[in-house]
Amino acid sequence: MASMLERIKVMLGAEPQKPAVVSPEAREWHAMKRVNKEDFLAMKEHARQHGVVSHKWRNRRWAVLLFANLLFTFSFWLDIQILEGALTASRFVGFHLIDLNSALQVALAHKHIIVNLIIGTLTVFFLWVLLGGRSFCSWVCPYHLVAEWFEWLHLKLVDKKIVSDRQFHRGARTVFWVLFGLMALLSGYTVFETLSPTGILSRALIYGPSLALGWVFLLLMFEVFYSRRAWCRYVCPIGLTYGMVGTLSPVRIMYRLEHCFHEGDCKKVCLVPHVLDMVVKGRAEHTHVPVGPDCTRCGLCVDVCPSGALQFDVKGLSKML
C-alpha cells in the first residue's frame, strides 16, 4: 500500500500487495510484536478488557443520514424549502447541488451541459473532497442504511450456516462504471438511473412509494441470501465516482500500528475490507497508515477496534490539534 496510485488500483479491483519497503520505525514495531508472544498476548488481553467498543460513530452516522434524507422529505411536505429536490439533484437554500454520478450520466446521455449543472456539480465535488469522497455512501446514501440493516440479517443467517457469502471480483464495479457510462453514451438514455436504488429510495422518501421499491427489495434479498452487500461492493458506480473524489480528501481513517493487536475485528465489520490490508501483521509500511480512498469513512472499524488503532483523521488538521 505504498503510493496513492497503488491505493487507487486496489479501489479499482486489484488485490492489495505486501509493501516492498517498510520504514525502520514500522519494522521495529513489527519485530517487537514478534519477540515475546506471552507479553504480546497479555497486552492484547489488557487492551481488550479496557477497550471501549461502542456504536458512537455508527449512531452519529445514522443520525446524519436520516437527517439529510428527511430534510429532503420535510422540505417538500412542510414546504420549508431548505433542501429541495432529491439526491440526484437539489437546491440547498437556493444553491444547486448535483450528484456527481447523475451529472455524469446525464452529460454522457445528453451530450450537452448547461451552466447550472456545472455549478451544482462543482459545488458537490468540492463538498465531498472536503468531507471524504465515499463518505457520501455511508453518511448520506439511503440504500447504504437499508443495506446495513439487511446485512445484519445476512450475518445472522451466515452464523447459523443457512446461507454463505459468495464473493464477486471487486473489479466488476470498475467494469460496471465503464459499462454504465458507455450505455448512457451509446443509447442516449440515463440507463443507470433505472436501476439505481439510491435514486429510487431518495425519490420514494420524498414523493411517495413506487413500484421501483420492489426492485430495491429484490436487491436486498440478493444481498441477504447470496452475497453480502453485493450492490455497494461490486456494482454501484456512484461509490466509485465518489471514491475517486475521495483520493483528494483530507478526511480519512488513520491506522496506528503501535495500538494494533492484529485481531482483525475491523475487517469483519468493514464494507470494503481490502482497504484495511495494513492491519494484517507485518503489512503496515509505516507506523501510521491512512486508509485508502475506497473507504466509506463509516467509522464501524473505529467503533469496533478495542485498542483505538483506527481513528478519524484530518490531514494537516489533526497534527495541529
Partner 1 sequence: MSDAPDNRNADDGEELKPPPGAQRPKAPVRKEAARRKFIRSTALACGVVGLSLAGWMPTASAYKPRLRPPGALEENDFLASCIKCGQCVQVCPVAAIKLGDIDEGFGIGVPYIAARDQACDFSCDAVQCILACPTGALTYRKPDFADVRAGMKMSRDPVLKAKAKDPEPTLNLKERIGVARLDRPELCLAVQGKGFKGQARGADFKGTLRYMSVDRWKPVPVREQPYERAVCDLCVTECPIQDAIKLEAFAGPDGSTRHRPVVLEQCVGCGVCEMICPVEPAAIVIDIRKEWKEA
| 143 touches partner 1 (CB under 8 A) | no
Can you tell me which of 58, 61, 154, 203 binds partner 1, judged by CB under 8 A? 203
The distance of closest approach from Cβ of residue 320 to partner 1 in the complex, given in angstroms and rounded to an integer, is 35
Cα 84 to its chain centre, rounded Å, is 25
The distance of closest approach from Cβ of residue 99 to partner 1 in the complex, given in angstroms and rounded to an integer, is 8
| 39 touches partner 1 (CB under 8 A) | no
The distance of closest approach from Cβ of residue 79 to partner 1 in the complex, given in angstroms and rounded to an integer, is 9
> Which residue lies nearer to partner 1 by CB, 191 or 251?
191
| 234 touches partner 1 (CB under 8 A) | yes
User: How many CB atoms are located within 10 Å of the residue 72 CB?
Assistant: 22
Query: Which residue type sits at 114?
Result: I
| 285 touches partner 1 (CB under 8 A) | no
Residues facing residue 256 across a β-bridge: 288
- 245-284 footprint of partner 1 as x/- string (CB under 8 A): ----------------xxxxx--------------xxxx-
Cα distances (angstroms) measured from residue 254 to each of 16, 60, 136, 245: 17, 19, 19, 18
CB–CB of 194/256 below 8 Å? no
Dist. CA 109–CA 184, nearest whole Å = 5
| 88 touches partner 1 (CB under 8 A) | yes
Phi, psi angles (nearest 5°) of residue 314: -115, 120
DSSP 124-137: HHHHHHHHTTTHHH
Q: Which helix (H) or strand (E) holds 264?
A: none
> Which residue lies nearer to partner 1 by CB, 41 or 317?
41
The distance of closest approach from Cβ of residue 32 to partner 1 in the complex, given in angstroms and rounded to an integer, is 14
Can you tell me which of 36, 54, 59, 187 binds partner 1, judged by CB under 8 A? 187
**Among 133, 173, 239, which Cα is nearest to 13's?**
173
> Which residue lies nearer to partner 1 by CB, 161 or 319?
161
> Which residue lies nearer to partner 1 by CB, 48 or 259?
48
Supply 288's cell numbers.
Answer: 501510521
Interface stretch with partner 1, choices 1-9, 211-219, 243-251, 312-320 (CB under 8 A): 211-219
| 148 touches partner 1 (CB under 8 A) | no
The distance of closest approach from Cβ of residue 196 to partner 1 in the complex, given in angstroms and rounded to an integer, is 9
**Among 249, 213, 245, 57, which Cα is nearest to 139's?**
57
Dist. CA 142–CA 206, nearest whole Å = 12
Can you tell me which of 12, 175, 248, 254 binds partner 1, judged by CB under 8 A? 175
Q: How many residues of this chain interact with partner 1, rule: CB under 8 A?
A: 74
The distance of closest approach from Cβ of residue 313 to partner 1 in the complex, given in angstroms and rounded to an integer, is 24
The distance of closest approach from Cβ of residue 251 to partner 1 in the complex, given in angstroms and rounded to an integer, is 26
Q: Where are the alpha helices (DSSP H) in the chain?
A: 4-12, 24-35, 37-50, 56-77, 100-110, 115-131, 135-139, 142-159, 171-187, 191-195, 197-207, 212-225, 230, 237-246, 265-269, 300-304, 317-320
- 46-75 footprint of partner 1 as x/- string (CB under 8 A): --x--------------------------x
The distance of closest approach from Cβ of residue 265 to partner 1 in the complex, given in angstroms and rounded to an integer, is 8
